């Protein structure tokens, strides 16, 4: 009986602390955004509303373009990495190329020379 009462009291204490610690939400930006960027008590004209909506569309378009550009760059990097992977394991030649002993020797010599320069 005592343990159940103590656990109930502890649970109530924890819940009340979390509730009071969070406090009321104080996000002024959310208040302004609900009235086209102005305080809630400000009367917004149709011209201001149109300006705000046009600005939001422009920002959304810029963000869409930026995301598209990032996607294209990632695709290009992936293609470049795939192209490198095709060549890396066949002495610098495409995977379907039959490497001759002379080509292999030339590649190995170039790798040795490259290491010596560092």
Contact 93, 103 (CB under 8 A): yes
Contacts of 95 (CB under 8 A, 6+ apart): 86, 87, 89
Region 83-112: mean pLDDT is 77
C-alpha 94/C-alpha 84 separation (Å) is 9
- Beta-carbon contacts of residue 87 (< 8 Å; ≥ 6 apart): 93, 94, 95
Of 25-29, 72-76, 93-97, the one with minimum mean pLDDT is 25-29
| CB of 106 closer than 8 Å to CB of 93 | no
Q: Are 94 and 87 in contact (CB under 8 A)?
A: yes
* Whole-number pLDDT of residue 112: 83
Whole-model pTM? 0.40
């Amino acid at each position: 009986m005592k343990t159940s009462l103590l656990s109930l009291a502890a649970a109530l204490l924890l819940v009340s602390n979390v509730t009071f610690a969070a406090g009321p939400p104080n996000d002024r930006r959310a208040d302004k955004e609900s009235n086209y960027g102005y305080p809630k008590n400000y009367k917004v004209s149709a011209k201001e509303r149109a300006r705000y909506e046009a600005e939001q569309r422009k920002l959304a378009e810029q963000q869409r373009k930026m995301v598209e550009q990032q996607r294209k760059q990632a695709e290009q990097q992936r293609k470049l990495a795939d192209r490198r992977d095709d060549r890396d394991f066949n002495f610098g030649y495409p995977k379907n190329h039959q490497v001759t002993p002379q080509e292999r020797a030339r590649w190995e010599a170039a790798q040795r020379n490259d290491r010596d320069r560092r």
